[in-house]
Amino acid sequence: MYAQVGALILATSLVQLANGFFTTLVALRLGVEDFNPAFEGVIMSAFFVGFTIGSITCGGIIQRIGHIRSYAAFGGIVIGATVGMSMFVETSAWAVLRAAIGFGCVGLFVATESWLNAKASPATRGRVFSTYMVGTFLALALGQLLVGWLPLDSAVPFNIIIALFAAALVIVSMTRAEPPPIVSEVKLPYGELTRAAPLAVLGAVVAGMVSATFYAVVPGWMLAQQVAQETIGLVMLSAVIGGLAFQVPVGLLSDRMDRRILLGTLAIGFALTAVALTLIPRTLSLILPVAALLGGFMSTLYPVCVSNALDNMTGERVVSISGRLILVSGIGSAIGPVTASWIMSYLDINGVLYFMAGATAVLGGAAMSRGVTRPAATPVESPFMVVAPLALQVAPEPPSLNLENGEVQAGTKVDFSRTGKKPQGGV
């Protein structure tokens, strides 16, 4: 079992390595190609448009044709679109191809996570997913380091990305792991989630918006300011490492305090850190720790929102809730880069930082207000889920439920940072 699960985790790490490098590469390459700044945000947002479409449709594709064939199909889409980006350097072509890559990537992760959920036993599932997420973050970090080592204006970076995606496809296609069975989904109307957990919905939009804006805009701005590629890679690496460092502490806090107050604290912390970036001297010794703080706050907003939503809805809808919030986050991710590019054309990078700070300050105020003025909901078992950056919050396959035994089987998100206590937050 461990060899089979290890193959899936290795393949996912390769995909994340490619994807982390790819996102920063595209942001930098847009500056090299001297595209119209008004359309740069459209190209960066296109990934999240495809991501959002994929989050709605890829589950049905997997149910129709199975996990292995779906993984091969999604991988083929990503590889073909990456080849196309290296061949057709044009605004509209890149927008369409980035959307295709977003669609394919979310499909790869949905297939992988549901597969891991099915293969891991209840006794080992926590260890499996902790290894999965550590591998994900380390791969994303290594992807940022590649930024400083490779020429931006050649086809070499694209070829490396293609090779990484292809290697992941080969590993999964040759695995001996049996794919999970196909199960039906528990439906959840969109309006019901908004009524039950409005704060979680608002938080998912803001979390997606600021994360996508950061990864889409900041690298390109640094390149335009003639910052060395190695330095750009270090700044982005600091944000990823900060995100990893915040996961377990915030997960523990999430189980010990009102999650609305925790969400408000994280959002206000992000807002203050973003403002600090506009005020401090732009020296590497100051920028790197502040970037790590920013990445930490940014990467924990979304999982706390998911936990808040689960506090207020029944456990058998865990996957449907996650899927709806993924969609909402994807919409925010598509809006963020376009809005930020427009703001930067008038107010430069400080305007973008104030835009992100303003959005998170609104979220922080709303969360604190509801935490103080409204009683906490009666909590249900709801985990804090560690989620990788780059808005890759993906939903596993729907669960099969054994309500008599209180078990949720293959397809549920796994909490590996739980302390065993009941959560204390509500709407």
Confidence check: pLDDT of 387 > 60: no
**Rounded distance between C-alpha atoms, residue 135 and residue 139, angstroms:** 6
Burial 201-240 (b: 16+ CB within 10 A, else e): bbbbbbbbbbbbbbbbbbbbbbbeeebebeebbbbbbbbb
Say if CB 332 and CB 205 are below 8 A apart: yes
What confidence score (pLDDT) does residue 318 get?
A: 59
Going by pLDDT thresholds of 50, 70 and 90, the confidence category of residue 177 is low
What confidence score (pLDDT) does residue 121 get?
A: 63
Percent of the chain with pLDDT over 90: 39
What confidence score (pLDDT) does residue 203 get?
A: 95
Mean pLDDT, the chain, whole residue set: 81
**Rounded distance between C-alpha atoms, residue 284 and residue 235, angstroms:** 8
**Rounded distance between C-alpha atoms, residue 170 and residue 250, angstroms:** 36
- Structural domains of the chain ordered from first start: 2-401 (1.20.1250.20)
Report which of residues 173 and 130 the model is more confident about.
Answer: 173
What confidence score (pLDDT) does residue 420 get?
A: 37
SS3 408: strand
**Rounded distance between C-alpha atoms, residue 84 and residue 177, angstroms:** 32
Quick: pLDDT tens for 256-315. 888 899 999 999 999 999 999 999 998 999 999 999 999 999 999 988 888 888 777 755
Report which of residues 214 and 31 the model is more confident about.
Answer: 214
What confidence score (pLDDT) does residue 279 get?
A: 95
Quick: pLDDT tens for 208-251. 999 999 998 999 899 889 899 889 999 999 999 999 899 888 88
Maximum mean pLDDT: which of 53-62, 294-303, 311-320, 385-394: 294-303
What confidence score (pLDDT) does residue 271 get?
A: 98
What confidence score (pLDDT) does residue 215 get?
A: 92
What confidence score (pLDDT) does residue 49 get?
A: 92
Going by pLDDT thresholds of 50, 70 and 90, the confidence category of residue 399 is very low
Maximum mean pLDDT: which of 40-44, 197-201, 358-362: 358-362
What confidence score (pLDDT) does residue 9 get?
A: 85
Confidence check: pLDDT of 341 > 60: yes
pTM: 0.79
Q: Which amino acid is at 390?
A: L
**DSSP letter for each residue of 69-100:** HHHHHHHHHHHHHHHHHHH---HHHHHHHHHH
What confidence score (pLDDT) does residue 297 get?
A: 96
Maximum mean pLDDT: which of 129-138, 202-211, 242-251: 202-211
Say if CB 270 and CB 210 are below 8 A apart: yes
Going by pLDDT thresholds of 50, 70 and 90, the confidence category of residue 397 is very low
Percent of the chain with pLDDT over 70: 78
SS3 for 151-187 is: CCCCCHHHHHHHHHHHHHHHHHHCCCCCCCCCCCCCC
What confidence score (pLDDT) does residue 412 get?
A: 38
